[in-house]
Chains A and B, each alone.
Chain A
């Protein structure tokens, strides 16, 4: 599976903000409560009572095609893997400068005592490249999807849902 690009999308018509994905991520990656959150479920409410529209979207690192985080990293700690496009952090190289946080259009990078932390598609907890990450397995409504860009594009073409593309970066999603 060389030169694949993996990505995620939330079918906002199905997400119910149950938090299963976010907590699955924590428990499988051994992340303590109250520290970093590699996955967050955002709620965007618009309008006023009773004409309210609600959108729920589960977000993590986009594994961008041209990761701004990697571009600005002075320590060369962030890299994009050739084989699957997963953007990974080498914590041994991270100097904690937080440039990546400022550069990332989604504000994804977070920090703990080991350095920058973000989604690694569950590589670190033993899910092989191309395997199903735990947040995807967890989702009770089937709202959260993972796959190669072409697989996801197909899915998205079938449904009129908001797609967090790995190339198009709709920063308007997080309002």
Chain B
């Protein structure tokens, strides 16, 4: 450019820039992918040093930076801002296949082509062979996927093993070798097993993580601990509730209406379902938009008007935390106005009369002041749901697992599907298409459940092995059977960590946080930090520094998916079956190592080598691939995967409709549990009392309608989105291409409310609840009720390239979990769901 100086006006047109809308909840769409094997990491959290305010963020950033720099920085994304400079044509690139890791560690949702030049990964796009986004030939990826290069080359990668040299929480570490690190871990685990029993070891489960779900679980079983500390913020919660209400035996069915049957659905109700933020390139919302163009009607229930909610026919902005009251009143109208299918109810429902009697007073008039939804709208929605057929309900994370009464909310939604005759019909619920068999067979990693010791207590009670020893059973012990929890026993994440503080029933001694930041992945970081501090041993393995690292005894550097070739996936589609494997596209940075290699090595060093391929992950992969007839070498050499076309003409089949005897076969009396005889009267998960037979609304611990005294001082409701399209929970917030669109911790606020407090758009504000306080920037948004705030958790990552800091996770930081109640007695007593709603007061900072 030739220079010339005569600029008068700043030419930046960013005024209207991409507003990050977002929203409340989500649903994990059942991905069509399947077996996975190894990879790397990523998960959730926030930062140390309470009292770190926005004004001292530079200091905060240096705290974060210091830890990130633990192993020295690596070169970052260095390509200059040249634009017209011609990049060479595509055929000058080397193209390698990898699974995108941006929806979480070791995921295999989107298969990608990675474009490398001179060994450096520069560009990425979808692999057209893999059928991403429910579209054969698709090269699409979401915004996160488009940024994946910056994760590999991030300056905050952890590069070397280190051990703590100061006090826990002080953040002082010293670099050690892998051998030293492994020796410390092995010695500690062996000593503790001897002294306290193997169950003193627990692992934190972030969102579903293949490494942990396979090798991690196998290690627990062989070591002898049942303590898989499950987040409870999961599809599983919905699944358990659905299972005990209307049956269903696989996780696939937990989401309700099959997207491949949407062309037959007339009315789709989305409840706390946020796939435009959680699963953009996994077929939904694309398939939903297609169906809407062909006339599908949509009711979208969630507190904030996210993109897809704005396209719905009816938007129901339910007050956060009150969904169960709303669905109960809808059920009441359907029963009261006799909008149900009488034949179905007569033949296939258990205790319908008791339910009808019980529901009588839960009218729209009762629900309206609780939920903030006008009575007329409740009637309108109820009548639509009761009369339009086929009707499907998709239940997302927003409602299924983040309320104190999640179980009953989900149960009522299932009951509505059932009594309106929408189960087992095309376009309704429980009527998935049946795919022709996969043309490629692989062997899943055996979890070796039989290796977990069965105690006398387990035997006497008929429990699955290990259940008696759980530190904090996620679902009631009596419910944890092989048929109900396929992958084994589970403890609840938060309640399990609290054992360190309470010593009840015994304290965990060793916790492994792999790709999960407990200071953001669950409630109340202040209590979690105390627990981590009180632990004998906290081990972290992650790709990037996270704020819980300062409590670690040993920190291990994990490599990303892109630095290893240890994960494959099989996708069975109508037109054929595809198998693809990650190619290694870069040497592991520093001394980072794959999580898969770590596990088999750990097991080997523990003396469990015979069950862990003697430490050789290649052997593990060969074993998995064996039935396919495709060798590991062949699969790797194929680069973009192998597609086997279906030539026998078989097509996806419609299921046998209305086969209720089969659908309900595992339910008491083989019927829908309107009066729940499966769980009612049985011990709850705390062992403190029994569960109810009929729906109950509990609501959050602090709530406008049930705690008016608290509401006087704290007049606004706050909650946070489960998923956001520019990060993965708290992970990847520091990725430059993504951070650009959400530079500062944000909270969506109705402009009228903000103005009444003198808070301008973009201003920092203080948000105070009875449990803590945080600081966020206001984002004006009309698509949210004047008494509701919506934010996003997990802001510990800094972004060096944009000069933006990370924010702490305690008081005066920006971690919304600080605000929420965390009394385990308030959590859902069946599935351990924890509410993420509370009352707050706000002021301008």
Q: A residues bordering B, Cβ < 8 Å?
A: 13-20, 22-24, 26-38, 40-45, 47-50, 52-54, 56, 75, 89, 91-98, 101-102, 107-117, 120, 124-126, 134, 137-142, 174-175
Contact of B84 among A27, A91, A140 (CB under 8 A): A91
Known: A29-B87, A30-B81, A49-B317. 17 other contacts (CB 8 A): A19-B725, A24-B125, A24-B141, A24-B146, A27-B149, A30-B80, A32-B80, A33-B737, A34-B801, A40-B14, A45-B781, A50-B785, A91-B83, A94-B2, A96-B2, A108-B13, A113-B81
The verdict on B123 contacting chain A, using a C-beta distance below 8 Å, is yes
Subset of 20 A-B contacts with CB under 8 Å? A15-B307, A17-B20, A27-B146, A29-B83, A30-B81, A30-B83, A32-B80, A35-B81, A40-B17, A40-B18, A93-B2, A95-B2, A97-B6, A101-B11, A110-B12, A114-B83, A117-B84, A124-B86, A138-B139, A174-B16
Chain B residues whose C-beta falls within 8 Å of the C-beta of A53 in the assembled complex: 310
Chain B residues whose C-beta falls within 8 Å of the C-beta of A107 in the assembled complex: 11, 13
CB pair A32–B280 under 8 Å, yes or no, is: no
Per-residue CB proximity of B453-491 to A under 8 Å, as 1/0?
000000000000000000000000000000000000000
Number of residues in B with C-beta < 8 Å to the partner? 76
CB pair A18–B725 under 8 Å, yes or no, is: yes
CB pair A43–B21 under 8 Å, yes or no, is: yes
Chain A residues whose C-beta falls within 8 Å of the C-beta of B140 in the assembled complex: 20, 137-140
Stretch among B281-289, B565-573, B680-688 lining the A interface: B281-289
Write the chain B residue with the least CB distance to A58. Answer: B18
CB pair A56–B11 under 8 Å, yes or no, is: no
The verdict on B387 contacting chain A, using a C-beta distance below 8 Å, is no
Cβ of A174 to closest chain B Cβ, rounded Å: 6
The verdict on B786 contacting chain A, using a C-beta distance below 8 Å, is yes
CB within 8 Å of A: which B117-135 residues: 122-125, 133
CB pair A140–B281 under 8 Å, yes or no, is: yes
Chain A residues whose C-beta falls within 8 Å of the C-beta of B82 in the assembled complex: 30, 114
Contact of B83 among A31, A126, A175 (CB under 8 A): A31
Cβ of A125 to closest chain B Cβ, rounded Å: 4
Q: B residues bordering A, Cβ < 8 Å?
A: 1-4, 6-7, 9, 11-14, 16-21, 77, 79-90, 122-125, 133, 139-143, 145-147, 149, 276, 280-281, 285-286, 289, 293, 305, 307-308, 310-311, 315, 317, 725-726, 736-741, 750, 752, 781-786, 801-802
Chain A residues whose C-beta falls within 8 Å of the C-beta of B285 in the assembled complex: 16, 141
With A50-B317, A125-B86 as contacts: A13 and B311 at CB distance below 8 Å: yes
CB pair B19–A43 under 8 Å, yes or no, is: yes
Chain B residues whose C-beta falls within 8 Å of the C-beta of A89 in the assembled complex: 84
CB pair B289–A14 under 8 Å, yes or no, is: yes
Listed residue (A33, A38, A108) with the most chain B CB atoms within 10 angstroms of its CB: A33
Cβ of A78 to closest chain B Cβ, rounded Å: 12
CB pair A30–B737 under 8 Å, yes or no, is: no
For the residues of A in contact with B, the DSSP-based class is loop
Q: CA of A92 to CA of B310 in the docked complex: distance in angstroms?
A: 45
Write the chain B residue with the least CB distance to A16. Answer: B307
Listed residue (A17, A116, A124) with the most chain B CB atoms within 10 angstroms of its CB: A17
Chain A residues whose C-beta falls within 8 Å of the C-beta of B740 in the assembled complex: 33-34
Chain B residues whose C-beta falls within 8 Å of the C-beta of A26 in the assembled complex: 146, 737
CB pair B146–A126 under 8 Å, yes or no, is: no
CB pair A41–B149 under 8 Å, yes or no, is: no
CB pair A36–B81 under 8 Å, yes or no, is: yes
Q: CA of A142 to CA of B140 in the docked complex: distance in angstroms?
A: 9
In the A-B complex, the 5 residue pairs with the closest CB atoms = A115-B1, A33-B736, A19-B143, A54-B310, A23-B146
Contact of B784 among A49, A91, A137 (CB under 8 A): A49
Q: CA of A37 to CA of B81 in the docked complex: distance in angstroms?
A: 11
Q: CA of A19 to CA of B3 in the docked complex: distance in angstroms?
A: 33
Cβ of B509 to closest chain A Cβ, rounded Å: 43
Chain A residues whose C-beta falls within 8 Å of the C-beta of B17 in the assembled complex: 37, 40, 42
Q: CA of A24 to CA of B583 in the docked complex: distance in angstroms?
A: 22
With A32-B80, A126-B90 as contacts: A98 and B7 at CB distance below 8 Å: yes
Q: CA of A38 to CA of B802 in the docked complex: distance in angstroms?
A: 18
Listed residue (B4, B140, B752) with the most chain A CB atoms within 10 angstroms of its CB: B140
CB pair B737–A140 under 8 Å, yes or no, is: no
Cβ of B20 to closest chain A Cβ, rounded Å: 8
Cβ of B753 to closest chain A Cβ, rounded Å: 10
With A34-B736, A48-B782, A114-B1 as contacts: A22 and B143 at CB distance below 8 Å: yes
CB pair A31–B81 under 8 Å, yes or no, is: yes
CB pair A18–B143 under 8 Å, yes or no, is: yes
Contact of B133 among A29, A42, A94, A140 (CB under 8 A): A140
Q: CA of A54 to CA of B16 in the docked complex: distance in angstroms?
A: 13
With A18-B725, A34-B736 as contacts: A97 and B4 at CB distance below 8 Å: yes
Chain B residues whose C-beta falls within 8 Å of the C-beta of A111 in the assembled complex: 11
With A14-B289, A20-B142, A34-B740 as contacts: A124 and B802 at CB distance below 8 Å: no
Chain A residues whose C-beta falls within 8 Å of the C-beta of B80 in the assembled complex: 30, 32
Cβ of B320 to closest chain A Cβ, rounded Å: 15
Q: CA of A82 to CA of B785 in the docked complex: distance in angstroms?
A: 52
Write the chain A residue with the least CB distance to B286. Answer: A141
Q: CA of A30 to CA of B11 in the docked complex: distance in angstroms?
A: 21
Write the chain B residue with the least CB distance to A123. Answer: B86
With A20-B141, A32-B801 as contacts: A120 and B18 at CB distance below 8 Å: no
With A26-B737, A49-B782, A94-B2 as contacts: A112 and B83 at CB distance below 8 Å: yes
CB pair B18–A22 under 8 Å, yes or no, is: yes
Cβ of B806 to closest chain A Cβ, rounded Å: 16
Chain B residues whose C-beta falls within 8 Å of the C-beta of A134 in the assembled complex: 125
Chain B residues whose C-beta falls within 8 Å of the C-beta of A174 in the assembled complex: 16
Q: CA of A14 to CA of B90 in the docked complex: distance in angstroms?
A: 29
CB pair B81–A16 under 8 Å, yes or no, is: no
Q: CA of A29 to CA of B122 in the docked complex: distance in angstroms?
A: 10
Chain B residues whose C-beta falls within 8 Å of the C-beta of A13 in the assembled complex: 289, 293, 311
Chain B residues whose C-beta falls within 8 Å of the C-beta of A140 in the assembled complex: 133, 140-142, 280-281, 286
With A52-B310, A115-B1 as contacts: A47 and B782 at CB distance below 8 Å: yes
With A19-B741, A27-B149 as contacts: A124 and B83 at CB distance below 8 Å: yes
Q: CA of A34 to CA of B139 in the docked complex: distance in angstroms?
A: 26
With A23-B143, A126-B86 as contacts: A142 and B286 at CB distance below 8 Å: yes
Q: CA of A56 to CA of B308 in the docked complex: distance in angstroms?
A: 11
CB pair A45–B783 under 8 Å, yes or no, is: yes
Q: CA of A112 to CA of B82 in the docked complex: distance in angstroms?
A: 8
CB pair A126–B81 under 8 Å, yes or no, is: no
CB pair A96–B4 under 8 Å, yes or no, is: yes
Q: CA of A134 to CA of B472 in the docked complex: distance in angstroms?
A: 50
Chain A residues whose C-beta falls within 8 Å of the C-beta of B782 in the assembled complex: 45, 47-49, 52
CB pair B281–A120 under 8 Å, yes or no, is: no
Chain B residues whose C-beta falls within 8 Å of the C-beta of A141 in the assembled complex: 285-286, 289
Q: CA of A56 to CA of B307 in the docked complex: distance in angstroms?
A: 8
With A49-B784, A54-B783 as contacts: A16 and B276 at CB distance below 8 Å: yes
With A140-B280, A140-B281, A141-B289 as contacts: A94 and B6 at CB distance below 8 Å: no
Chain B residues whose C-beta falls within 8 Å of the C-beta of A52 in the assembled complex: 305, 310, 782-783
Write the chain A residue with the least CB distance to B8. Answer: A98
Q: CA of A88 to CA of B783 in the docked complex: distance in angstroms?
A: 39
CB pair B750–A41 under 8 Å, yes or no, is: no
Q: CA of A20 to CA of B145 in the docked complex: distance in angstroms?
A: 8
Q: CA of A138 to CA of B361 in the docked complex: distance in angstroms?
A: 51
Chain B residues whose C-beta falls within 8 Å of the C-beta of A91 in the assembled complex: 1, 83-84
CB pair B18–A17 under 8 Å, yes or no, is: yes
Q: CA of A110 to CA of B289 in the docked complex: distance in angstroms?
A: 34
Q: CA of A138 to CA of B801 in the docked complex: distance in angstroms?
A: 24
Listed residue (B88, B311, B752, B784) with the most chain A CB atoms within 10 angstroms of its CB: B311
CB pair B123–A27 under 8 Å, yes or no, is: yes
Chain B residues whose C-beta falls within 8 Å of the C-beta of A45 in the assembled complex: 781-783
CB pair B123–A126 under 8 Å, yes or no, is: no
Q: CA of A97 to CA of B6 in the docked complex: distance in angstroms?
A: 6
Chain B residues whose C-beta falls within 8 Å of the C-beta of A23 in the assembled complex: 143, 146-147, 737-738
Cβ of A8 to closest chain B Cβ, rounded Å: 16
